[in-house]
Structure 1
């Protein structure tokens, strides 16, 4: 018999899917097994839109992954560029997750994240009522604020309904956990300082025992570079979702100013590398081809086993958000960048969580979103100082700060305490 409290987590995506929230929630689930009996409800592996044949027959699939009980829901395949197919996929998850809640027995706590937008919060709220459990709402992104910020929808009635629903989820939570100081400010402003739901800040993380600094000459780092014709080049790397929230199309226009043949003082050619996928991948590839940007390289998402080698293959890492994202989203890619002790080129708004962390750790250079001259200046600075002690020290500063303040165990301990005290 076990005396552990039971914790139900609605994850939407979960490993082996490469979604950043799925990776975080898998480490959170496994890291809390010493305190909770953890069950995860999620979709079958499908982040890229396609689904393996073995996941196309049953309504549910039960798995045990590293001690975590996982109940997967069958959903339809979708195309990332097709809104209708994506909405159908998401709605199937929503109704499937509610139905699956009746399949997992009694629970002491339910935990959901803000993905999919709005529906993630509603799933947790329904789970609270179904299980008569305490509800912890983990807000990784505020919506509809994020939807509005990037212009994905300008329908005022729809945005108003979305805001009302998510505030409803917040009010009925026993605890809201956000991932940034600026997100705490957004929660306060949502409720105009009155009857604000109990809210705490816990930073996201990277597993610093799996993602750590390696020399450029490491065998597998070299192999990654050789595989993509990056040997002996100075690499600016963007690694993550190539989507709407990062102003990547305008970033490509800045990169275009550093054409093929651009070199560092020590004779290395400069390359700009994008690792990942998303709704803007095809437009960026088309832009590259139209302007003959041969020093721009696109690389598919890397398996978790290869992530350490791909991140270490960068000399400088981009950490970017579009204007208007401050207070509504927090790019978790930053944690992996400092974990490999590489300097960061930030394009981040003032008072945003990651910008504050960059300023506190002195791990790179920062420009405001939309300040394309400033971004260009910082790119040129890194090129001019390639191989210098100044650049190396930036990377070391970030890594030292991570080890002192942002390790996986630090965040996991905060989660356990917060949930038990909710």
Structure 2
């Protein structure tokens, strides 16, 4: 490393933990490392095998590690998750009180509190920090209990507004998200738009070998079966195709609504909907490669505070995209201007069904179109293109 200054990268998860941002962050670190004399990573591990792999990687590249051994919070109740988060943030205070970093990079996991700790300690230690807003909180959590406690929501919003305003640089994913930050009172001058990159693909040509040639149109949803995805609205549309012999729906993922959605489909005596549950990424990509259309459903307002990264995964396997999202969003403009899919209403069932059905009726399977979609995705969201943007900002 031949640059000046020291960098500390902070995140709750880091490679080889198999979370999308944890995997992407490894590539980001390797890309920006030449901008600094020394690079350190502060993160947690769940298993000794994770730590050994991370240590080996750090030694190979000359990075240093700050590591906290923690249990996974999966399956914990709310109290357990709060305890885990507080323990992590206390440890983070300890790390930051001893850091020699000139620049600290922090993201939104855990939301708000991690960035607050980084901001607070920056006043004491004198470092600059870069805030990577993968989501905008507390707005992205508005459908949770926060919506029932307006005072808490307002207080958390004021904290994160300060987190953004005090950052040397802010990175977020879309114009819609940037607009939300500016409407909060942040300056647009230090907000950079860098979307997520395609961090995992099928082997070259492998996806094409799995594509189907029959006349059945296969639609796939891959992601969290949670409340931000507008899934009850989507499934009302899906149920209209109960008797269809040329449409199939493949649902990948897990979440709080999974049991309810499965019961809804069973109650509708519908056999053209298949639930897979949570599957490894490679299996998810293989399933996508056998489908034709990827579904991106979002609850109203979510596109302003988050960006559906499943979009890139769909496009990378050559799928057209069907988005249930506000029409005046960057995502809709991108899909329609590049002829990569269509958007339908996420609030009006009748309007959504009419456009949804028109899209399915006119859809044809075309290998050349799939290849064109893949090419466009690589151009816009390929690793090389996106990482070059990070190198210009994280310095």
TM-score range, shorter chain: 0.7 to 0.9
Is 1:401 the counterpart of 2:376? The answer is: yes
Q: Which of residues 111, 127, 130 is equivalent to 1:133?
A: 127
1:289 and 2:266 are equivalent in the alignment: yes
Per the alignment, do residues 381 and 30 of structure 1 end up closer, same or farther by CA in structure 2, a change over 3 Å counting?
A: farther
1:243 and 2:244 correspond: no
Looking at structure 1, the residues matched to 101 and 153 of structure 2 have their Cα atoms a distance apart, in angstroms, of 33
Corresponding position: 1:44 with 2:45: yes
- Residue 83 of structure 1: which of 46, 70, 78 is its match? 78
C-alpha separation between the residues in 1 aligned to 2:195 and 2:223? 18
Partner deviation per Cα, 1:370-405 (whole Å, 9 max, x = no partner) = 13233333443454345444x963x44543333333
Q: Confirm or deny: 8 A CA contact 1:79 1:85 kept in the other structure.
A: no
Moved more, 10-19 or 312-321: 10-19
Q: Secondary structure at the match of 2:11?
A: strand
Aligned residues of 1:20 and 1:332 also touching (Cα < 8 A): no
Q: Do the aligned partners of 2:104 and 2:130 also contact (CA within 8 Å) in 1?
A: yes
Asked if 1:301 corresponds to 2:295, the answer is no
Contact preservation (8 Å) 1:273, 1:296: yes
Q: Point out the more displaced range, 171-180 or 69-78.
A: 69-78
Contact (CA 8 Å) 2:202, 2:282: kept in 1 or not?
Answer: no
- Mapped pair 1:182 → 2:146: no
Q: Secondary structure at the match of 1:12?
A: coil
Give the Cα–Cα distance (whole angstroms) in 2 for the partners of residues 3 and 27 of structure 1. Answer: 18
Q: Alpha carbons of 1:80 and 1:258: their partners in 2 closer, same or farther (altered >3 Å)?
A: farther
Do the aligned partners of 2:3 and 2:34 also contact (CA within 8 Å) in 1? no
Is the contact between residue 233 and residue 346 of structure 2 (CA under 8 Å) also seen in structure 1?
no
Q: Structure 1 residues 131 and 368 mapped into 2: Cα distance closer, same or farther (>3 Å)? A: farther
Alignment of 1:22-421 (within 5 A): 22-36=22-36, 37-45=38-46, 54=48, 63-65=55-57, 67=61, 69-79=64-74, 82-101=77-96, 105-126=99-120, 128-129=122-123, 131-148=125-142, 152-191=146-185, 198-207=190-199, 210-211=201-202, 214=205, 218=209, 221=210, 234-259=217-242, 261-264=243-246, 270-389=247-366, 393=369, 395-420=370-395
Question: More helix by proportion, 1 or 2?
Answer: 2
Residues of 2 paired with 1:149 and 1:272: CA distance?
Answer: 26
Contact 2:96 2:118 in 1 (8 A): no
* Alpha-carbon distance in structure 1 between the residues aligned to 2:351 and 2:371: 24
Q: Is the 8 A contact 1:114 1:120 kept in 2?
A: yes
Distance, in Å, in 1 between the alignment partners of 2:64 and 2:202 is 26
Q: Which residue of 2 aligns with 1:48?
A: none
**TM-score relative to the length of structure 2:** 0.85
What's the secondary structure of 1:349's corresponding residue? coil
Q: C-alpha displacement at 1:271, in angstroms? A: 2.0
Backbone CA RMSD of aligned residues:
3.3
Are the counterparts in 2 of residues 213 and 339 from structure 1 also a CA contact under 8 Å?
no
Q: Secondary structure at the match of 1:153?
A: helix
Shift of 1:61: 10
Q: What secondary structure is seen at the aligned counterpart in 2 of 1:373? A: helix
